[in-house]
């Protein structure tokens, strides 16, 4: 047991226990899905379902800028500076809480529909270098942990594809490897079998096929 205080001044009591068994199993549906993360669409599932990210930080960007500006006007370490600092922390905490709430609701929605869910292992640091603040806002890593916890809680299976496993370029119908595929190609036709693919749905199908149990 531990007690912690955050930057806003709120106190939290943490209790730790070990429980390896699912606390409440959901009924099996017989469904399974691969999930492809993306910067344009948060999740694309192998059945064609697309889920957009609310991008909570972007929604609250004006409030963050206003709070930062108010803090910069205060004399350092004055009472007003501490009040402005707590207000800025409160804005960031509100963003994080809304994002986490959405993650838990989405994870529960997925485990209610699918018995097995496969996700990819991402190079998040590399993605941040490419797309910057947006990747931090989308927070793939946090969602993956919440989905793992939700699957364990309700007796569903979470699979993962290795970081270096090819999932985007192979055709999900015949296995042809499209070496000419670029990030700007959202749809493509396999020259080997003629199948027409949505780039993200094709990747999600491949992720499901190569996924191994999360450990």
Active-site residue set = 36, 120, 200
Where b means 16+ CB within 10 Å and e means fewer, 112-135 reads ebbbbbbbbeeebeebeeeeeebb
Exposure string over 8-44, b if 16+ CB within 10 A, otherwise e: eeeeeeeeeeeeeeeeeeeeeeeebbbbbbbeeebbb
Direct distance between the N- and C-terminal alpha carbons of the chain, in angstroms, rounded to an integer: 26
């Amino acid at each position: 047991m531990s007690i912690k205080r955050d930057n806003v001044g709120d106190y939290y009591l943490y209790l730790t226990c070990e429980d390896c068994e699912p606390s409440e199993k959901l009924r099996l549906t017989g469904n399974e899905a691969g999930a492809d993360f993306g910067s344009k669409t948060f999740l694309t599932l192998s059945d064609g379902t697309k889920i957009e990210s609310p991008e909570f930080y972007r929604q609250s960007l004006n409030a963050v800028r206003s709070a930062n500006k108010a803090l910069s006007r205060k004399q350092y370490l004055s009472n007003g500076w501490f009040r402005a600092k707590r207000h800025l922390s409160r804005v960031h905490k509100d963003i994080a809480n809304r994002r986490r709430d959405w993650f838990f609701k989405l994870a529960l929605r997925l485990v209610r529909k699918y018995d097995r869910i496969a996700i990819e292992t991402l190079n998040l640091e590399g993605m941040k270098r490419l797309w910057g603040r947006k990747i931090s806002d989308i927070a793939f890593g946090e969602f993956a942990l919440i989905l793992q916890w939700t699957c364990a809680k309700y007796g569903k299976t979470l699979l993962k594809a290795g970081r270096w496993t090819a999932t985007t370029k192979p055709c999900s119908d015949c296995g042809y490897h499209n070496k000419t595929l670029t990030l700007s190609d959202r749809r493509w036709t396999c020259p080997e079998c003629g199948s027409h693919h949505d780039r993200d749905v094709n990747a999600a199908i491949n992720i499901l096929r190569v996924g191994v149990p999360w450990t």
